[in-house]
Amino acid sequence: MTVSAIVESPIIPLAKAELFFATLGTAEKKVISMDITPLLLPDLENVSIISGMIPAELLKGPAVEFWIRIVTAEGVVQESVHHIIGVKPEGYSDTSSVEMDTITIKAQGTTLKPTTYLTNEGDIPVYSEVSLVADGKKVYSIPVLLTPGQNIINLEWSIPKTGSNTSYKIQTQLDVYDKSYITGMATLDTFARTKIVPMSDQSEIVPATDELGNIIARPAMMYSSNEGSGAFRVTAPDGTCVIGDGCLVEQSTLKHRGGIDSVLIDGHIYRVRYSGDASPLERFSITSLDSVLGEWNVEIIENSEFLASAAGDVPIKVQYRAERSSMVTVGME
């Protein structure tokens, strides 16, 4: 196996370059001197190509780790990152298998962490790569040295923020030398954790659903803040005035225990946090274990018609909480 690199040493020329390598899983390492050949490039000086070859008889399974170390004429040492290449042992013919445990509902912007079970059915270690696949595309891969028997590996994927409910077909793929093993598909339903609507375009707050209409997340909290003049007035879906002058919560709740006030509306308990209209940044939040569904109405009461118009652009944010997701197991088909 030939290993080469291009090295720029603009101030001090290179004195030597060495190729280090070792069979993975062993402490013994070997060193081979690398050839240094000047490379003439316009506008660049002291650029060299270095190259070295690992003999075939020293390439031993399950894998070889290798890296380059260069030394300048003044003794400055620089080492490259370490790389690993799988080497299939002579006569290798064993098989492997893969399974995956994963949840099926997750918020966008969070990390999915499925657990994979990789079984090496042979009696010697093998080098492999295990990948998480979403809609046919590898989204996360790590190298793994599989010992005989079952190996448990945790994968992870930062779920993209699409802004709308999105489903993915999730699989785990195991590549062992020239063979690939892949699980069946598990459906992952994702949702936006926070939805933002301007005060001038309010609508009914509804659950997040999958493509079949099944609920995957419920609205757990609504909140907003106002840096301008005026005061919030928040009305519940049944017409009960919750926050504002003459409402269930008129004053700041910050002096209450936990900074919240609990109110009962139509048989549901809501926890209200409110800064009060005297605060430089007036803000509120309403949460409930039963979710904050329905046609809530949020207003900013102004004396000036101009200010009332500007208040219509104040954003209202609704935060969603995932439904309880069961763990599913998918194996090879």
- Cα–Cα distance for residue pair 211/168, rounded to 1 Å: 11
Cα 272 to Cα 111, 203, 249, distances in angstroms: 30, 21, 8
CATH of the domain at 57: 2.60.40.10
202, 315: one domain: yes
Predicted confidence at residue 296, as pLDDT, reads 97
pLDDT at 306: 52
Q: How many residues does the chain have?
A: 333
Are residues 8 and 72 part of one domain?
A: yes
* Residue 329 maps to a domain: no
248 closest CA partner among 294, 260, 302: 260
Domain membership of residue 332 (yes or no) is no
Compute the distance between CA of residue 247 and CA of residue 257 in angstroms, rounded to an integer.
20
Pairwise CA distance, residues 60 & 177, whole Å = 13
The whole-number pLDDT of residue 247 equals: 96
Residues 6 or more apart whose Cβ sits within 8 Å of residue 258: none
pLDDT for the residue numbered 130: 98
Domain assignment of residue 136, yes or no: yes
- Residue by residue, pLDDT tens for the chain (333 residues) are 999 999 988 888 899 999 999 999 888 899 999 999 998 878 778 899 999 999 999 999 999 999 999 999 999 999 999 999 999 988 788 899 999 999 999 999 999 999 999 999 998 899 999 999 999 999 999 999 999 999 999 999 999 999 999 999 999 999 999 999 999 999 999 999 999 999 989 999 999 999 999 999 999 999 999 887 789 999 999 999 999 999 999 999 998 988 999 999 999 999 999 999 888 899 999 999 889 999 999 999 876 555 555 566 789 999 999 999 889 999 998
For residue 10, what are its two tokens?
């603009």
Q: Which domain holds residue 223?
A: 194-322
Question: Domain with 181 in it: what CATH number?
Answer: 2.60.40.3880
In a domain, residue 203? The reply is yes
Identify whether residues 308 and 231 lie together within a single domain: yes
**Do residues 311 and 222 both lie within one domain?**
yes
Tell me: do 254 and 143 sit in the same domain.
no
Same domain, 161 and 264: no
Nearest to 185 by CA among 197, 174, 172, 194: 172
The pLDDT of residue 326 is: 86
Q: Say yes or no: 80 and 135 in one domain.
A: no
* pLDDT number for residue 312: 61
Contacts 24+ apart (CB under 8 A), 264-271: 265/236, 265/238, 265/240, 266/236, 266/237, 266/238, 266/240, 270/236, 270/242
Q: What pLDDT is stored for residue 101 in this prediction?
A: 98
To 5 degrees, how large is the angle CA 51–CA 56–CA 60? 110
- State which of 170, 191, 212 marks the end of a domain: 191
pTM: 0.84
What CATH code is carried by the domain that includes residue 239? Answer: 2.60.120
Answer with the one of 86, 110, 145 that is the final residue of a domain. 86
Where is 311: in which H helix or E strand?
A: helix 305-311
Instruction: Indicate left, alpha or beta for 189 from its phi (over 0: left) and psi (-120 to 50: alpha).
Output: beta
What tokens were used for 145?
Answer: 């040295």
**Does 333 map to a domain?**
no
Measuring CA to CA, which residue among 296, 274, 276, 270 is closest to residue 285?
274
- Whether residue 310 sits in one domain with residue 218: yes
Considering the domain architecture, whether residues 258 and 285 belong to the same structural domain is answered as: yes
Q: Domain count of the chain?
A: 3
Residues 206 and 186 in one domain: no
Same domain as 268, residue 311: yes
Q: What is the DSSP string of 44-64?
A: B-SEEEEEEE--GGG--SSEE
Nearest to 182 by CA among 165, 168, 169, 192: 169
Q: In the prediction, which pLDDT does 90 show?
A: 80
β-pairing verdict for 208-209 and 186-191: unpaired
Residue 286 has φ and ψ, to the nearest 5°, of -130, 125
Please check whether residue 328 lies inside any domain of the structure. no
Is there a single domain that holds both residue 314 and residue 212? yes
Amino acid at site 139: V
**Domain termination site, one of 163, 191, 219:** 191
The Cα–Cα gap between 145 and 25 comes to 9
Nearest to 89 by CA among 3, 24, 180: 24
Q: Is residue 224 part of a domain?
A: yes
Query: What pLDDT, on the 0 to 100 scale, is given for residue 59?
Result: 94
SS3 of 270-282: EEEEECCCCCCCE
- Residue 331 included in any domain: no
The residue among 250, 294, 293 whose CA lies nearest residue 272 is: 250
